Amino acid sequence: MVPIVSFVGKSGSGKTTLLEKVVAELTGRGYKVGTIKHDVHGFEIDCEGKDSWRHKRAGAATVVLSGPGKIAVIKDVDEEWDPARLGFSFIDGVDIIITEGYKKAGHPKIEVIRKAKSTKPICRKDKNLIAITSDIKFKCRDIPCIDINDAKGIANLIEKRFLQKQVHGEIADLIINGKQITLKPFIQGMLVETIKGMLKPLKGCSNPRDIEIRMKT
Amino acid sequence: MVPIVSFVGKSGSGKTTLLEKVVAELTGRGYKVGTIKHDVHGFEIDCEGKDSWRHKRAGAATVVLSGPGKIAVIKDVDEEWDPARLGFSFIDGVDIIITEGYKKAGHPKIEVIRKAKSTKPICRKDKNLIAITSDIKFKCRDIPCIDINDAKGIANLIEKRFLQKQVHGEIADLIINGKQITLKPFIQGMLVETIKGMLKPLKGCSNPRDIEIRMKT
């Protein structure tokens, strides 16, 4: 499973600006990054009159646009998907996923505090808080407080915590009824070997590197 | 596997307008529809200055936006994905996928011909052509020619061909190295039962309805 880290903080604290700098820094170091923006108030992405807008307005539940080098998807959902499900379903081939928002989700998080907006951490008691980044000098015994303009320092922390101990080799991600299931390495290995063994005799399956299966039972 | 049908035809022949009407008609009949627009010349969907645009510009390979009732994804790809892969990866829970474009793909297709644009079918020799829809009255012995304004007639054809003989019960879709593999019902059943049997003893897996697995080997 790709590691997920969340930038959380009050509106206007500078999460997007910081995320931009950290994504650019990590990309510059050769990592592939996916991002998820939690837009609690809703968003508009499609423009009136465009073909994709017309498809959607006609009643399509999901609209996909596919062009040279780029894909876009606009999809209706009944309930909100958590970052793990969004990452599993839509983001592949990346080393890390950084989310903007999702302070209530159970992923490691970095809180952004800008003194013009607030002076109190909102996630101080959250066991998933791994750092504070701020223009205030907080003294925390257990987690680092990094300057809000020090994107390199934040990238260093992310690299050290999430990007240098990735296990290479066989991995299996599993979603059941829309919920991500954490598998122990032994179970992952058993699943991978059993499925590979079943598929190998089939046409077109002799050299599987990436296998995706979706089942309805 | 969800059936895919493609509306093909020259630029300006009215594919989008027809697709809108047919999607509305099928949606009105209670079907869930997904659409894929093939944009050979590329598209712009994100607006400068928006957070998702800023994430993408900073270097993120994939950006996901998640809001109430809606998800959007913008993703870089090295090579173009075919409709089967796009459908498998991004569209779930629908009864049918209608594509605008993809005349070279091997899916059943309906050619749209408007006499102001052209008078000759471009897919006449394609064995996947299942109908022509036009404001010209073509006489084809083997396929129907439906009036270009008769969205109901086209929806009837799609319903009859693709929506009334869906097999209910266990199904399994498989993608290996990015390519969809067609599985016989016997193999699908074996795969589903084996994987269900392996997963059932695990925590959180006791009542699987939708199972998704992604493996790298």
What SS3 state is found at A162? helix
Q: Which of chain A's residues have a Cβ under 8 Å away from the Cβ of B174?
A: 199, 205, 211-213
What are the tokens at A103?
């302070």
- DSSP state, residue B82: P
H helices of chain A, in order, are: 15-28, 51-58, 83-90, 151-158, 185-199
- Chain B partners of A58 at a C-beta cutoff of 8 Å? 19-21, 23-24, 27
Q: Which two tokens stand for residue A33?
A: 């990054």
ipTM computed for the complex: 0.86
- CA torsion B186-B187-B191-B193 (nearest 10°) is 10
Side-chain half-sphere exposure of A194, counting CA atoms within 13 A: 18
DSSP secondary structure letter of residue B164: S
3-class secondary-structure state, position A63: strand
Report helix, strand or coil for B72.
Answer: strand
Please tell me what DSSP assigns to residue A48.
T
pLDDT at residue A169 in the model: 59
What would the pLDDT profile of A87-97 be if each residue is shown by its tens digit?
999 998 899 99
B211·A55 Cβ contact <8 A: no
Q: Is the pLDDT of residue A98 over 70?
A: yes
Q: What's the pLDDT at B154?
A: 97
Closest CA to B119 of B143, B142, B138: B138
Contact flag A75-B54 (C-beta cutoff 8 Å): no
Interface of A with B in 102-141 (CB under 8 A): none
Q: How confident is the model at residue A165 (pLDDT cuts 50, 70, 90)?
A: low
Q: How far apart are CA B192 and CA B186, in angstroms?
A: 10
Q: Is A144 helix (H, G, I), strand (E, B) or coil?
A: coil
Q: What are the structure tokens assigned to A203, written together?
A: 């046409």
Largest CA distance in chain B: 63
The pLDDT value recorded for residue A166 is 55
**How sure is the predictor about A217, in pLDDT bands with cuts at 50, 70 and 90?**
confident
Q: Is the pLDDT of residue A59 over 90?
A: yes
| pLDDT at position A167 | 53
Which residues of chain B are within 8 Å of residue A100 when distances are taken between CB atoms?
51, 55
Percent of chain A's residues with pLDDT above 90: 59
- For residue A45, the chain B residue with the least C-alpha distance is B46
Which residues in chain A have their CB less than 8 angstroms from residue B191's CB? 195, 198-199, 213, 215
Taking only residues 143 to 202 of chain A, the set having a beta carbon closer than 8 angstroms to any beta carbon of chain B reads 170-179, 181, 183, 187, 190-192, 194-196, 198-199, 202
Q: For residue A125, is pLDDT > 90? A: no
* Degrees, nearest 5: CA angle A195-A64-B85: 25
Kindly list the structural domains of chain B, giving each domain's residue range(s) and its CATH number in brackets, ordered by start. Answer: 4-46+79-163 (3.40.50.300), 183-217 (no CATH)
Contacts of A67 in chain B (CB under 8 A): 38-43
DSSP E strands: which ranges in A68-128? 70-76, 96-100, 109-113
Q: Which residues are A171's β-sheet partners?
A: B216
How much is the pLDDT for A164? 80
Q: In the structure, what pLDDT confidence band is assigned to residue A187 with cuts at 50, 70 and 90?
A: confident
pLDDT band at A141 (very low <50, low <70, confident <90, very high): confident
User: What is the predicted pLDDT for the residue at A191?
Assistant: 87
- Write phi, then psi, for A96 (nearest 5 degrees): -155, 150
Q: Give how far A139 is from chain B: nearest CA, Å.
A: 30
**Residue A49: pLDDT above 90?**
no
Return the residue matching tokens 């304004």: B149
What is the average pLDDT score of chain A? 90
* Contact criterion met (CB below 8 Å) for A211 and B174: yes
The answer to whether A214 and B88 are in contact (CB under 8 A) is yes
Instruction: Say whether A215 and B217 touch across the interface (CB within 8 A).
Output: no
Rounded mean pLDDT for each run of 10 residues along chain B, 217 residues in total: 94 95 97 95 82 94 95 94 93 95 95 93 90 92 93 97 70 84 84 88 85 86
Going by their DSSP bridges, the two strands A129-134 and A109-113 should be labelled as parallel
Report chain B residues whose CB lies below 8 A from the CB of A94. 61-62
- Residue A170 pLDDT: 66
Q: Give residues with Cβ within 8 angstroms of A58, minimum separation 6.
A: B19, B20, B21, B23, B24, B27
- Note the pTM of the prediction, 2 decimals: 0.84
Say yes or no: B73 contacts chain A, CB-CB below 8 A.
Answer: yes
Residues in Cβ contact with B84 at an 8 Å cutoff, skipping those fewer than 6 apart? B1, B4, B107, B180
Q: Would the CB atoms of A86 and B69 count as touching at under 8 Å? A: no
Distances (CA, A) of A90 to A64, A192, B50, B111, B191: 12, 21, 20, 32, 24
